[in-house]
Structure 1
Amino acid sequence: MRNILRRMIFFPVLALLGGWSAMGTAQNATSEDTLVLTLDKAIEIALSENPSIKVADKEIVKVDYSRKEAWADLIPSVSASGSYSRNMKKPVMFLPEDMSAGFGGSNKLEIGYDNSYSAGINASVPLFNMSLFRNIQMTEVEMKNALEAARQSRINMISEVEKAYFNCLLANDSYHVLARSLHNAKENFQNTKRLFAHGAAAEYDVIRSEVQVRNLEPSLTEADNGREVTILMLKILLGLGKDTPIRLTEELASFQILMEEMPQQPFQDISNNPDLKLLDIQKQMIDKQFDMTRAMRFPTLSAFMQFQLQTEANDFEFNQYQWVNPIVAGLQLQIPIFNGFSNRYREKQVEVSKQQLSFQRENVERQISVSLLNAFRAMEAALDKIESAKVAVRQAQRGYDIAQKRYETGAGTLLELNDAEVALTRSRLNLNQARFDFLSARVEYDNILGNNLSASFE
């Protein structure tokens, strides 16, 4: 029985225990009040406190800034500049021989001054730039991708919280089953001692019933430790400190409505699956990337204006400088003619990426369909186990009652009573496990469809 309990409680969570030490004390308990949890409350806390959800939300903010940056490229840009240069040796201009006589016989003429100053303001605005327009469209698709990725994070988080919560309920219910079994064993021990005192039971029965109690006590302690482990794992997902006291108000049987509302056949529409939706958005991004590459073939047209202040002098008497302020405005047209087929090769790369994504989506769609069918079959199998386990519990309870009466009247043996108690405990544990299996399969089923049990929290 102890091995069964260990498999049901400890095995699903051992792989996640390392995460607690990495996370440390995420936040300390600030109140001694116990946090009362339901499934909906646990999901609500996880969606507001879990770091992975916060990271996904920040990604949306970052992509939104990227989108605004792309739109900002349509706004006129203005820049200012200034310069000073010192002519250590002035530039010269060479003169024809027939003109050199007028300049002292030299055919070289120095031009300019020792000091040169300039300052200016430049403004430009794109009038037509196809690459810029395609980039804006790309950022819109990137925003869709960020939003869908955030939705996927929430769907996965809800699924993880539900599984961890149901694991806690399984550990709780298993603990209560073993506690009831220990209670029965103690009652049988006390009853056997009374019978032995009246000479109606052998000393061996007293020893055997005490051994039964001693054997169950470690199992109950192990089950209690299992409860603590599953609670710790739930706290990690909720972003709670390990010292925060919590109390669960539900049990596995509280979700009977989910078993009653199980669909008759697996849902065929998987278009809402987040993995498929992300692949569809990636296809849109590749299409936009192809458009951006193709846009490099188009000419660009922009308007500009320049305002400058200029002066030159041989001294530093600034108050006597003569400043000029030329203003230039115009249009600039750039037409790509030939760039060595680089654009064509880029387009070919994007086309190959599109083909790769098509193959990937086809494979993912097949895997999702198979996973959905497996989850549905697992729910069906779990329902059959639940019905069989319910009958087993009723029969085991009746068998235990009969064995107890027979032993009290001397018609039965302690061995029969112990066997009946073990059968009752095992059947109750099997019922809890069957319910847990169904709920886990249901969580997986809804997660694949993108329709979690608590979709209202998306």
Structure 2
Amino acid sequence: MKKLIVFLFIGVIAFNAQAQNKKWTLEECIIHALENNISIQQSELDVELSEIEKTAAIGNFLPTLNASGSVSENTGLSFNPVTNNAQTATILSATGRINVGYTLFDGLANFRQLQRADISKLAAEYQLDKMKDDIALFVANGYLQVLTNKENLKSAQAQNLVTVDQIDRTNQLVDAGVLPRGDLLEIQATNASELQNIAVLENALTISRISLAQLLLIKDYKNFDVVDEGYDIINSEISDKSVEELISAAKENRNEVRIAEANVELAKKDLQIARSSYYPSLSAFFGYDTRYTNATSFEQAVDLDNPIITEQIGIVEETGQAVIGEFPNTINRISTPDPFFDQVYQNDGISYGLQLNIPIFNGFQVKNNVKRSKINIERSKFLLEQAELDLESNVYQSFVDAKGSLKAYEAAQKAVESQELAYQYAKDRYDAGVTNAFDFSQSKLRYDSAVISLNRAKYDYIFKIKVLELYFGVPVTELKF
């Protein structure tokens, strides 16, 4: 049992250590951002809202069904709701109603609203896709910035090891009287400058990692790190495409233009909906209602003990003889209320019919709404045109940037090769005592700067190529690094 506990304890420690030492790949970072980014989640809520709008538009085609009821109790002089007799009492009364309504014609507004809901949902989905592309680019840029800082730090640390070796070697040569002490001081100053640069690079790396972690909503900044291997320049066919091909593909695939096109269609539907208010509307209705009261009432009934009474009803003018008539002898008596369900059945009623509304004058509201809709259409068309121009400009700019980044990378490669040869030559001359420490330090500094420039140019070119691939229509999850 103890062995099992120890084994589990070691396993938990190993798992936690592995979790803390986890290094994120670019693909993992992008997927994590797409699943957890707040802006993306807000765009997903917009898609859900568009679904609700579509459901509401579908509901306009369905009849309405409403039920209502009320219960009241009145004390004092009141009217019986059934007999309409005035009486002083405490009366409990209840009413119930069911109404059904259905719109037969409303100027086709319900059809237009459903079409608008479909377009609105499509626009929300385009906006969500655009947000995902933007977030993926932010993540890729942040990730490549971390890699750049890592490469710069590695280069600086590696070169500092060489400087430390040179300090030991120079110290030995100074003690042997081969080199002056000034050379040792120069190398030590170079070492101090390199250590300062390493501290700056370490700080830049830490900040870039924290920025990327914040973008991914990861709170464990201390243990967050990324994989820094396997990210080389891949020969991409995208670099062989002409700018015209890229612009044409971008117009077909990018969501910026799709969103603008959807907004134009939405504006057109709004105009159709506004115009529908010019037409009459026709609706049908059906209602059922009933009522109940516990109030007592008075009713007239024939007196069974004396059912007939005789009364004089007139006089014969010629003879003066009285005319006698017989009438039923009725008396008033209190009647108790009928049972609840009997009253519900006895007092119910129905109503049904058609209702026609014809717009005649409404303070220019409909006319002004139509004018506003027309203006919105023109505005949305301008925005579409601007979106197309911006897209062309952005693609062209990205194309030029990618070409320029490639040239900068190739130039940086040649610069590193040249500076490396120059540095090695200066090192050999310094080791042989032919040149002084200052010239050697300057050559080494130029070589270090060339390496840092190469790292920056490399990852800048990778990022610019990925931007072009997105414009060309490559899905963000299929980008290769």
**Correspondences of 1:104-253 after superposition (within 5 Å):** 112=85, 117-129=94-106, 130-243=108-221, 245-250=223-228
Partner of 2:43: 56
Q: Which residue of 1 aligns with 2:425?
A: 402
**Residue 412 (structure 2) pairs with residue 425 (structure 1):** no
**AA at the equivalent of 1:393:** V
**Where do 5+ consecutive residues of structure 2 fail to align?**
1-15, 298-335
Equivalent position of 1:23 in the other structure: none
Alpha-carbon distance between aligned partners in 2 of 1:363 and 1:256, rounded to the nearest angstrom: 34
Cα 1:234–1:195, aligned 2, differ >3 Å: closer, same or farther?
same
Change (3 A) 1:352 1:111: same
Give the Cα separation in 1 of the matches to 2:478 and 2:371: 42
In 2 relative to 1, CA 83–48 (structure 1 residues): closer, same or farther, beyond 3 Å? closer
Q: Counterparts of 2:238 and 2:267 in 1: how far apart (Å)?
A: 41
Scaled by the length of structure 2, the TM-score of the pair is 0.78
**Further displaced range: 72-81 or 174-183:** 72-81
Once the two structures are superposed, the pairs formed by residues 216-295 of structure 1 within 5 Å of their partners are: 216-243=194-221, 245-250=223-228, 254-257=231-234, 261-266=238-243, 267-269=246-248, 270-271=250-251, 272-295=253-276
Aligned-residue RMSD, C-alpha = 2.8
TM-score for the superposition, normalised by structure 1:
0.81
Give the distance between the partners of 1:396 and 1:260, measured in 2 at CA.
Answer: 31
Cα deviation for residue 336 of structure 1 reads 3.0
Counterparts of 1:124 and 1:377, CA distance in 2: 63
Question: Tell me, which stretches of 5 or more residues in structure 1 are unaligned?
Answer: 1-28, 92-109
- Following the alignment from structure 1 to structure 2, what is the Cα–Cα distance between the partners of residues 337 and 134? 22
Deviations 1:280-312 (A, max 9, x none): 111111111011111222333333221111356
Name the structure 2 match of 1:65.
52
Q: 2: CA distance between counterparts of 1:206 and 1:31?
A: 45
Deviations 1:307-331 (A, max 9, x none): 1113568549544684421122333
**Bigger strand share:** 2
Q: Which of the residues 25, 31, 47 maps onto 1:44?
A: 31
Of structures 1 and 2, the larger Rg is shown by: 2
Do the aligned partners of residues 329 and 245 (structure 1) sit closer, same or farther apart at CA in structure 2, a change above 3 Å counting? same
AA aligned to 2:212 is: L
Partners of 1:444 and 1:162 in 2: CA distance:
10
Q: How does 1:293-442 map to 2 (within 5 A)?
A: 293-310=274-291, 315=296, 318-319=337-338, 322=343, 323-442=346-465
Instruction: Compare 181-190 and 123-132 and name the one that shifted more.
Output: 123-132
How far off its partner does 1:50 sit? 1.3
CA separation in 2, counterparts of 1:311 and 1:261? 81
- Identical-residue share of aligned pairs (%): 19
CA contact (8 A) 1:75 1:125 kept: yes
Q: Distance in 2 between matches of 1:246 and 1:89?
A: 80
Find the aligned partners of 2:479 and 2:197 in 1 and give their Cα distance. 40
Label 1:117 to 1:429 Cα distance change in 2 as closer, same or farther (>3 A): closer
Q: SS at 2:384's partner residue?
A: helix
The size of the alignment, in residue pairs, is: 410
Which runs of structure 2 are paired with 1:3-82 in the superposition (5 Å)?
Answer: 32-82=19-69
